[in-house]
Structure 1
Amino acid sequence: MDSKLVVTILIAIIGLIFFVKPNIYFKIQNPISKAHGLEKTSERVRPLFIRIMGIFIVIIALSLYYGCNLRS
């Protein structure tokens, strides 16, 4: 299997996870915010924005894959 395809699949899976379950992002990010003395990320950011970020991650992964294949 092509390494570009593997990386694309991994990035797309991460994006889909953030789209389907944005709470996973908050579980990762809240302890980081607490360590820096900020309020919890889940209080500052709405889940809708995390879903939008997940879709953009998938779009970027696909555009990188197809963009690299056009040059090859």
Structure 2
Amino acid sequence: MSSFKTIISHCGVIHIAKAAKISPRAVYKWLARDCLPRTEFTGETNYSEIISDLSGGTYSPDEVRAAGRYQPNQAA
């Protein structure tokens, strides 16, 4: 499975922001947190489908969602 940052960089922050109708800053916040926003997992948004479409099918929506799922840092 690809990392979330790899998937985002493959598609491009600006392209994702335009397709999702959000600011590039919002996408950079995802990268800083290394996860998609909560709204993706509560069904309020469909960013994983948008990112999958931008990747040309390289990444499925499920793969994007899995890579973008919040994972607490276990090195504490």
User: Could you tell me the TM-score, scaled by structure 2's length?
Assistant: 0.29
**Who wins on radius of gyration, i.e. which is larger?**
1
The structure, 1 or 2, with the larger RCO (C-alpha pairs under 8 Å, 6+ apart) is: 1
